[in-house]
Structure 1
Amino acid sequence: MCGMKKTIFTSLFVLIGLAAFAQTGLLRGTIIDKQYGEPAINALIKVEGTSIQGLTDFDGNYSVTVPVGTYTVRVSSFGYSDFVVSGVTITEGKVTIQDGVLEPASEVIGEITITAQASRNSEAGIMIQRKNASNVMDGLSSQSFRRVGDGNLSAAIGRVTGVSVQDGKYVYVRGLGDRYTKTTLNGMTIPGLDPDKNAVQIDIFPTKTLENVMIYKTFSSNLYGDFTGGLVNVETKSFPEHATTQLSVGATYIPTMHFNNDFILYDGGSFDWAGFDDGGRSFPMSKFERVPAAPNATSTELTRGFGKQMAAQSATAIPNMSISFNTGDQINSESGRTYGYNFVVNYQLQNTFYEDYESNTYLKPIGNTDTELFRDERRVGALGQRTAQWSALGSGAMKWNTNSLELLVLHSQSGESSAARRTAQNYNQTGATLLEDILTYSQRSLTTAMVIGKHKVGDWNLEWNNAFTKSRVYDPDFRTTSISITGGDTSLSVGNGAGINRFWRDLNEWNESARLDLSKNWGETGKLSFGGVVVLKSRDFEILNTNFRRGNTSDIDVNPDWFFEDENIYSASNPDGTYVRYNYEASNSFTSGQQVYAGYIQNEHNVLLRLKLIYGLRVEQAMMTYTGETQPGPSYEVYDKAETLNELNFLPSFAAIYDLNESMKLRASYGRTLARPSFKEKSAAQIFDPISKRTFIGNLDLEQTTVNNFDLRYEWFFEGADVFAVSGFYKNFTNHIEMVSYQTAPDNLSPRNAGSSTVFGAEIELSKSLASLGGFFEKLKVGGNFSYVESRVDLHSVIVDDNGTTEYELRQQYLRDGEELKDYRSMAGQAPYTFNFNLNYGDPETGTNVSVAYNVQGTFLAIVGSGRVPDVYTVPFNSLNVNAYKDFGSERQHRITLGVQNALDGERHNVYRSFGAQDETYSRYKPGVGVTVKYSYTF
């Protein structure tokens, strides 16, 4: 009996304890030191009216368990005024987020008391970082992503001053192209799905895993030296504020593309839907195969080994689809350790169709009296594409005392199949008309593993990072069939440009980078930083080319599949059949390596009450090697780990920040940066694009670009995240790299140094909440920014051939009557202006949000002409996107999102432009208007 009473008593005690435990919630947040714009360490968090208290860690984060109720929370630290928040409500089993800012006691008398807000004010936190930053910078917070409802980073970042997004993937800052914009992940350099670009494809980053995104527009010695327009650092969450599990599904309908019976497709593999080739497109023989020049029995066997599909297939395109899943949480253990984890997986399937995709080649007439451009070749027809892309990101982190460790793994995979069916007309040399079917498949993958360590050792902050990345671009079995049509007769006449060609490309790149940073605050406003970076890269690239012939080129069928039917392949009984021709060409393969070793030191401190100086020096040693062969000919050369670049660069930086008053700052800065040629550019490779029929030719003599940057910015910070800013900048380039058309072969493009160039411009930015107007306007926020840029390339400094001819002299030879030649032109890839506008209506009480974003860039020079080949310009694309969502359910766990992309139905259009001539199309296509519906459920 006594034992039974004891059991009942124990059970009752446990139930009471569980009930008490269940009637609690978590109070979490981040406290920022306003003086430095950094985390406030060891700040005391106290829940008044209770004995509950805690301390912030070295990230400025805190987490305490509090009984259900409404409280006043006090944050205090020696030398700072107390930060007091009233009306903080703790809900059973939930996480309440309350951030705070500690201000020096000398600036505020007494304490700061506010009323708690329901949402975390991280936009204001970003603004504090921006206000205290040593650089001219902008940023986006996780709150911005949640408020506007952006699904991935490419949709969000276009709202930043001077930023535009090209092809929905690549960031341009201040109108400067990809070469001068660098993207890093958690401060580490990694290649993107296109390793030849300096920027990573930002659409692979789902916003649910991001803490914030910082855009640095000026250089300081603690940043990488190879950027000029901007450095975009994507920071992932290490410790989510609360447990979240969410599933989202969506679809996008484009009327001009989807459910269109004219859609064409190349569905060549059973795993195309997953972004993988299933092996059916692999090279069907040894790459060193000795293929007879004259067909025989071996030719028959080899030819039968190739895939038989050569024609684009008719299909019906379904709407684009997406699905994503993410989960994450922060766990506080009794041992004092905090654990955090994130996992997210995204999948997208996109069907794209351009009914009249057009590309042309135009030339200037031979006579100087004629101004209208002469059409050399025209290609027009249907282009269908299907892209499957998925990414997965997982991270785990742990912090204790003054230490934290994090492991992050990211994999991104995409597969894009394309089918083109078009007519090509030559007007100059052959006069032939070709019917062309083109089938391509490109598989791209990126895997990166990153380890991040942060420690506070005494007064020193120590951070170290290591990242290893493997990327691959695999283009198996690009297939092109060109059939000549003359007077109704079909043939494979090589003289008319007809033929059957298939080729394979494979690029593998390895990237290992390590970084160490040490910093220490000294005095009241001083900070000393130094560290180093090592980046090691290597690339293997290979192309295998085959072409096919027939004994009788005239007696053929117009269906491309006909050539690889068994009865039409060469044999002893069919000597007029199709047979393969192939020779391994060593010039189509190369191996490159790059090593970059960097070290820096930087100091910052106040020299007057309101004037802060930041100065430092970065030293970077960069080396590139090349193994490969040039094309056969008189200038044939073989390279064996030949040194193609060896540069020691001293990159100084200096900045002065003057506080006009508590809310206004004036910044001035100088920094020297650079841009290095990519592996592809600094090579002897010749890479053909079967869709555009244009060939990229590398340039081993290419030199790196050096840039001197000068910036001036005035900033006026209002309450919260509101700001007004005006900036001016000037950049001087030495050996700017541009893409140039060949004079004798206008479809051949090559990179070239452009001598001396300058860029100067101004930016204006306004972001303002209209809450002070009350009523409907209380929930509105408006933002906009405008950048004006003028660029100049000195034509006398650009050498165009081995004879020392300048671009000025070459252009002078091809002037039209009445045309005046200036000493300079605009810089390729530099837009003259960028305008962004965004309007957001958000009602937290009803869970409703509507955002409108507009973006446009001015016409800019895309490809520099040469001789009779005119310049190519990209005309403005007016992008208007609308996004709206509604949360519903007892706990707002459901969300419906509606969106419209490219609401103005703009088209992508590049044109040839010449004096006195009508603009002629280089390439054009219409992306169409997209309508998106998405449903999200939060568990």
Structure 2
Amino acid sequence: MTTPRLGALLLATSALIAPGLALAQTTDPSPPPQPETVDTAPQDEVTQVEEIVVLGRYIPQPLRQTSEVAAFITTEDLERTGDANAAEALTRVTGLTISQGRFVYVRGLGERYSSARLNGSPLPSPEPLQRVVPLDLFPSSILAGVTVQKTYSPNYPGEFGGGVIDLTTISTPSEPFLTLGVGIGGNTETTGKDGLVYYGSRTDFTGFDDGTRDMPGELKAALATGNRIVAGANFTDQEIQQIGWDFVNAPLNLLQRQRRIPVDFGFDISAGRSADIGGATLGIIGVLGYDNGWQTRSGVQGEGFLDLDELVARRSYDFMSTENNVGWDGLLGLSLENGDHLVRWTNLYVRRTTKEARTRAGFDFDAPGNNLVRDDFTAWYERQLFNTQLAGEHAFGNLEIDWRAAYAMTERNAPYEKYIRYSVGDDGVPFHEGQRNSTSFSELDDNVLSGGVDLKYTLPLSDLREIVFSVGAETLDNERDSETRIFRFQGSGLSEEFQRQRVDFFFADFNQGPGLIQLVEITGSDGAAAYEAELQVDAAYAQIDAELIPLVRTAIGVRYEDAVQTVTPFDLFGGASPFIPTSIENSYWLPAGTLTWNFAEDLQLRLGASQTIGRPQFRELAPQQYLDPDSDRLFIGNPFLTDTELTNLDARLEWYFAQGQYLTAGVFHKDLDRPVESAINDIGSVVQQTYINAPAATLTGFEIDGKIYFDSPMQGGFWDSKRWLIQANYTYTDSQLDVGADDVVFPLSSAGVAQPATNYFRDGDQLQGQSEHLANLQFGFEDDLARSQATILVNYASERSVARGRPGEPDLLFDPGVNLDFVYRKGFDAFGREIELSFEARNLLGTEFEEYQEQVNRIDINRYDRGTSLSLGLKASF
């Protein structure tokens, strides 16, 4: 006896023999299945048999439209979790973690193996150490959704290892709206407590400097000569004195303790409407947002080295840092739609400014005397992104044409980045060393000009089956310029009284001159302070997506990419750089195939295989030192890096057992040839973090994800009308470096000469940045009648390596731990308006930030309390 389901499959298969037969398959996932009405009237002639079984009625529409393993974050998801930006929202997705609060790690692979796009177009990065754009730049208020694709398809760039993140901005609404929102918040380690500040300028609270931090005019004129600013060689003592007098002193040098750090606050405005114009619909939407927040971190920093198989502290400090973070967000979108044609123009401006005051004091093995020191820092970091995109979607019967052209520009400006070292006397009183201070000016400009077109032709096979032929082309030109100038006020033979002056007196005009302190430029030469970089990619692809066999969908395609990546260090003083410009020229054929089998009602299997690449990032190739303010470590690139090549295999079983509810389970495997790893490198007493291609690595894991709604288990009062939610996911990943006795690597320290790989890597070690365990849990309720929603969110990631230790030493590890958040939203009417009240509590467990090395004993590299953050928001709709 044939079961009904098997019979349905057999009937479906008959469509291959009789193409005129139709497979009845519900495409709208929202309505419940209805019983079929059977007509029992006599028939004059025999009709063909049609299959009437309903398959896939609960599969969400986005997953119907893609043949890939993917996850989707919707507007409703963003509202439920209350995440402030795209980076926070992505921590809820299976297999994803966030590094430094900004960069996505997919399935344990670092940010270099993932790419971010905005409305399908690539984005540049304002970060010196990354080519990938930091996702904390994108506030949730401008997002309509986020797509995370974990299997490769040829319509995306070949730089794909972990996944691609495609951010979609909000579009023109069908109904006019105006929304105003305000919010306040604070942190238990920051708000109302002591913090460090410095004056800066009068307009710092806006995120824009009033001109105080502009490069001094005398200095700018001196730099224009192309000569190093040093007394005697190119400038007279008097000219050097004039330049030094032009530097801003007290407002930027003098650290102060503020008794009560203020609360965080912000506002946002969004509006949109549409109008009919000559048979077409014109839409406009705009968003403007501002936020001002504070964060104080107090903890310990250290650095260890191996002494007789035991880690010993080489440096150990207590530190305190206060950051004032100011952000502006702006979006303006226009659209024109006429039937099957849509043209959109989207403009996005995002700016983030960080004003930081920081001090640390403790033990430095390399410091003279009693080895006790104090370091003070002040900094001002401006990051901004502007993106403009023109895109169109056109349908001509079975032919669809999509096109896009975009220009994106990011900038990072860090003027007057200050560092001052003090030695601490036996009496505990600090004094200026006279040599260890610096003032740096750095600028980074990154631009991307891109364009692409996709053509899709649909050939029907039956009423519900079809073949889709897709071809497309894309071009990208990414240019980056980076330059840093560093200066020092130095003196020798200074009296003890002179060295113990308050900092603004020490650097005052009357203390500058021969025999006192004098300005000198210490910018690195030989290409160590500036570089130009460019990545040009021309690509084309072809793909066939077909359901040749009913219920079995196959997508097969290939992408061809021709790319040239160059990094050219240049000497700011006209000398020749010892580093040969890096040029990586490669062409790749990158095949990809997926298969989706809807073999049972609301149950389907996805299989995928592909070959992709990962390119070194600009900063990883540039032999230029850079001090990372987040980790207080020096970074330097390695021009001998090469591309990474990956082979990817995926399988996922998906069961959509009810509307909006599902259970999925998947496995994945990746082979990586020459993955880029970060490693610690000693240059004398200076510790640097650099990059090396490891010989090979493998990564294997599984993930499970589920979501279920259920009615209240109790009745009456609070429990009535509530629908409860449980959503959870878990990812296990095992990665191993493959390092053989004959393998070699090419580190910067050997100037490109091959070295045994076993000197730098251990066979079987985890990939850098990969956590073995990742887990997320959401539990809460929503009440449509009361217009309320509450969610508890738990996120866990096990420890991961952030850098390889020196040869023979353990890795530097980071332990993210468990994070517990709570989000509540409540809607009500007041003054004739719809009002929404929101409350958020983040890091309720008070999980610390912990970065360390451990072997026999433990050295804390960076450890501090993050505190618990609370915020309250109010939004009104008009």
Shorter-chain TM-score tier = 0.7 to 0.9
Are the equivalent residues in 2 in contact too, given 1:267–1:417 (CA < 8 A)? no
Secondary structure of the 2:202 match is coil
1:150 positional shift? 4.5
1:271 maps to 203
| Distance change in 2, residues 1:638/1:253 (3 Å) | closer
Q: Distance in 2 between matches of 1:86 and 1:636?
A: 68
Residue pairs, 1:98-109, within 5 angstroms:
108=52
2:261 paired with 1:317: yes
1:80 positional shift? 8.1
Q: Distance in 2 between matches of 1:631 and 1:364?
A: 38
Equivalent position to 1:252, from 176, 182, 185: 185
2:351 paired with 1:401: no
Residue pairs, 1:23-102, within 5 angstroms:
none
2:153 paired with 1:233: no
With the length of structure 1 as denominator, give the TM-score of the two structures: 0.81
Q: Distance in 2 between matches of 1:834 and 1:133?
A: 25
2:745 maps to 799
Which one is further off, 128-137 or 447-456? 128-137
Q: Distance in 2 between matches of 1:781 and 1:82?
A: 25
2:710 maps to 770
Are the equivalent residues in 2 in contact too, given 1:304–1:564 (CA < 8 A)? no
2:393 maps to 454
Are the equivalent residues in 1 in contact too, given 2:697–2:738 (CA < 8 A)? yes
| Distance change in 2, residues 1:601/1:82 (3 Å) | closer
2:270 maps to 326
Q: Distance in 1 between matches of 2:630 and 2:91?
A: 29
One-letter amino acid of the counterpart of residue 166, structure 1: S
One-letter amino acid of the counterpart of residue 636, structure 2: I
Q: Deviations for 1:711-751, whole angstroms, at most 9, x for unmatched residues?
A: 01111012211110000000010111111101455620111
1:928 positional shift? 0.8
2:738 paired with 1:788: no
One-letter amino acid of the counterpart of residue 330, structure 1: S
Secondary structure of the 1:688 match is strand
1:830 maps to 770
Residue pairs, 1:351-500, within 5 angstroms:
351-356=294-299, 358-365=300-307, 367=308, 371-427=309-365, 430=368, 432-488=371-427, 492-493=432-433, 499-500=436-437
2:543 maps to 602
2:860 paired with 1:921: yes
Residue pairs, 1:665-680, within 5 angstroms:
665-680=604-619
1:155 positional shift? 4.0
1:429 positional shift? 6.5
1:223 maps to 156
| Distance change in 2, residues 1:306/1:921 (3 Å) | same
Q: Distance in 1 between matches of 2:113 and 2:844?
A: 30
Equivalent position to 2:97, from 158, 164, 174: 164
Which one is further off, 789-798 or 158-167? 158-167
1:672 positional shift? 1.0
| Distance change in 2, residues 1:138/1:795 (3 Å) | same
Are the equivalent residues in 2 in contact too, given 1:147–1:842 (CA < 8 A)? no
1:531 maps to 472
Q: Distance in 2 between matches of 1:772 and 1:779?
A: 6
One-letter amino acid of the counterpart of residue 196, structure 2: I
Are the equivalent residues in 1 in contact too, given 2:582–2:621 (CA < 8 A)? no
2:280 paired with 1:337: yes
Are the equivalent residues in 1 in contact too, given 2:640–2:746 (CA < 8 A)? no
Q: Distance in 2 between matches of 1:554 and 1:140?
A: 64
Are the equivalent residues in 2 in contact too, given 1:743–1:867 (CA < 8 A)? no
Are the equivalent residues in 1 in contact too, given 2:596–2:604 (CA < 8 A)? yes
Secondary structure of the 1:590 match is strand
Secondary structure of the 1:767 match is strand
| Distance change in 2, residues 1:873/1:506 (3 Å) | same
1:835 positional shift? 0.3
Q: How many residues align?
A: 807
Are the equivalent residues in 2 in contact too, given 1:492–1:554 (CA < 8 A)? no
One-letter amino acid of the counterpart of residue 553, structure 1: L
| Distance change in 2, residues 1:773/1:653 (3 Å) | farther
| Distance change in 2, residues 1:109/1:384 (3 Å) | closer
Q: Distance in 1 between matches of 2:242 and 2:29?
A: 83
Are the equivalent residues in 2 in contact too, given 1:359–1:692 (CA < 8 A)? no
Q: Distance in 1 between matches of 2:130 and 2:437?
A: 31
Secondary structure of the 2:769 match is coil
Q: Deviations for 1:850-909, whole angstroms, at most 9, x for unmatched residues?
A: 011111111111100122543101113311110001111166611111110111101111
2:456 paired with 1:519: yes
1:865 maps to 805
Q: Distance in 2 between matches of 1:264 and 1:677?
A: 37
Are the equivalent residues in 2 in contact too, given 1:362–1:869 (CA < 8 A)? no
Are the equivalent residues in 2 in contact too, given 1:676–1:704 (CA < 8 A)? yes
1:18 maps to none
Are the equivalent residues in 1 in contact too, given 2:23–2:52 (CA < 8 A)? no
Q: Distance in 2 between matches of 1:84 and 1:625?
A: 49
Secondary structure of the 1:598 match is strand
1:425 positional shift? 1.7
Q: Distance in 2 between matches of 1:241 and 1:660?
A: 38
Q: Distance in 1 between matches of 2:272 and 2:649?
A: 43
Are the equivalent residues in 1 in contact too, given 2:374–2:430 (CA < 8 A)? no
2:685 paired with 1:748: no
Q: Distance in 1 between matches of 2:30 and 2:303?
A: 67
Q: Distance in 1 between matches of 2:806 and 2:567?
A: 28
RMSD: 3.0
| Distance change in 2, residues 1:198/1:631 (3 Å) | closer
Q: Distance in 1 between matches of 2:262 and 2:801?
A: 36
| Distance change in 2, residues 1:78/1:463 (3 Å) | farther
**Higher RCO structure (Cα 8 Å, ≥6 apart):** 2
One-letter amino acid of the counterpart of residue 510, structure 1: N
| Distance change in 2, residues 1:126/1:853 (3 Å) | farther
Are the equivalent residues in 2 in contact too, given 1:672–1:707 (CA < 8 A)? yes
Secondary structure of the 1:742 match is strand
1:900 maps to 841
Q: Distance in 2 between matches of 1:617 and 1:475?
A: 43
One-letter amino acid of the counterpart of residue 808, structure 1: T
Secondary structure of the 2:846 match is coil
1:934 maps to 873
Secondary structure of the 1:161 match is coil
Q: Distance in 1 between matches of 2:228 and 2:27?
A: 82
1:878 maps to 818
Which one is further off, 405-414 or 223-232? 223-232
1:204 positional shift? 3.4
Q: Distance in 2 between matches of 1:741 and 1:82?
A: 55
1:782 positional shift? 0.7
1:223 positional shift? 1.5
Which one is further off, 204-213 or 447-456? 204-213
Are the equivalent residues in 2 in contact too, given 1:226–1:676 (CA < 8 A)? yes
